[in-house]
Structure 1
């Protein structure tokens, strides 16, 4: 049985995801590691791109402990065929040549063939599709100090908080993720 994560929102709703260790082993390990350390608890959703995706964080959750990168899944496990990114999936972000984010996950709001092999699908939404629909319809305001030119960043006018994330691992143990040694940090982490 695959592990699950329940994301409790301050709206009173929750999003339950099934984690997919067979599809993205190191990414799942990283998500579980971060969740067990409380990375996501009391965190405000940082970015919503209407009709594209809901980015939970681009700041490494504003905590140095969670500002780490991991190798792209296809570099670690080239034999695993990446899943298609679409509404109902959970994906991990990345920073081009720097590597894959350790725990900055997002929810695609459409089919995203451009993500395949870059932003790994590591989970699927079992409950809470209506919460994603609610979030994508929120009033947004632009973030004006985002350090990457040409990247549109909006945040909810009314902050949307993840209260807590609870894991159900079914008595399985998951190792800490394989991390990259980094010489350069993503620019958006340096603002934290």
Structure 2
């Protein structure tokens, strides 16, 4: 069976192509596919750049109530004990706690990050467009002083115009989700 392929088209016309890895993180791949197929990643400006560390596509669940959920942390089980250490060229879901993983927020590590092993599951690899990550890492940013962590926002928006997934005829189910009782402080509140 061929792994799904995701294509992120940026506002400059460049593409970042990902091979999704259900063999590393099945539920996480299902989550990414679900969010992408519903269009929740489309027309979203990358929110956070930490040069030398990572590029976060979102820091606040894409401002969407539908993206405000977690996944159970089953990295050890899903990887059969062969947990991949996040490094440049990987794509990971965000960390929330030792038992919960951010369900929709994803990031690109810009270096090997041993401290995230077992916390931020690698669910994809960049197979085309890695040079765009190097370019984005170097764009001019400004700090967001209202956030509790280092948030460097691109001065000129770097927008994911579309995120499309080819599953090669395989139906991936909705992910198993955890809806938090208390929302993270950086997630928007909806009435």
Q: TM-score, normalised by structure 1?
A: 0.94
The equivalent of 1:190 in structure 2 is 188
What secondary structure does 1:30 align onto? Answer: helix
Q: TM-score, normalised by structure 2?
A: 0.94
The equivalent of 1:46 in structure 2 is 47
Alignment of 1:1-192 (within 5 A): 1-74=2-75, 77=78, 79-96=80-97, 99-146=100-147, 148=148, 151-190=149-188
Give the Cα–Cα distance (whole angstroms) in 2 for the partners of residues 175 and 152 of structure 1.
35
1:118-169 Cα deviation digits (max 9, x unpaired): 00000000000110010000011001211x3xx2111101111000011110
Superposed CA RMSD:
1.5
How many correspondences in the alignment? 189
What secondary structure does 1:187 align onto? Answer: coil
CA contact (8 A) 1:14 1:128 kept: yes
Give 1:11 shift: 1.2
Give 1:103 shift: 1.0
Moved more, 133-142 or 69-78: 69-78
Q: Which segments of structure 1 move beyond 6 Å, counting only runs of 4 or more?
A: none
Give the Cα–Cα distance (whole angstroms) in 2 for the partners of residues 97 and 178 of structure 1.
17
Give 1:65 shift: 0.7
Q: 1:175 to 1:161 in 2, by over 3 A?
A: same
Give the Cα–Cα distance (whole angstroms) in 1 for the partners of residues 78 and 17 of structure 2.
26
Give the Cα–Cα distance (whole angstroms) in 2 for the partners of residues 184 and 98 of structure 1.
15
1:82-140 Cα deviation digits (max 9, x unpaired): 21211000000021257211110000000111111100000000000110010000011
CA contact (8 A) 2:76 2:83 kept: no
Q: 1:139 to 1:131 in 2, by over 3 A?
A: same
